[in-house]
Amino acid sequence: MWNRFARLFIIKTKFEAFLVIYGLGLGAVERGMRYLEQYPGYGGWLLFAACPIAVFMAGGKLIDSVDRTRGP
């Protein structure tokens, strides 16, 4: 039973990976906007820039980890 539940969280295709990256990107930009409200000026902009950069780095690893022989 646990294996069936765990399979729901396995990313099998690039489409699923892109959906996850899109969700992470939305959350990162939202968090960056909160940083701009809390820390006006250059500090807020640096923290804002760090949020999407982290998603870009994680997204690249996520897409590379998807099996190329599986699916279209």
- Per-residue pLDDT of 22-43, as tens digits, reads 999 999 999 999 999 999 999 9
- Per-residue pLDDT of 57-69, as tens digits, reads 988 888 888 876 6
| pTM of the model as a whole | 0.77
**Helix/strand number for the chain, H first, E second:** 3, 0
Domain hosting residue 46, numbered range = 12-65
* 41 is a domain residue: yes
What token pair was written down for 28? Answer: 């990162």
The Cα–Cα gap between 44 and 57 comes to 20
* 42 is a domain residue: yes
As for how many domains the chain has, the answer is: 1
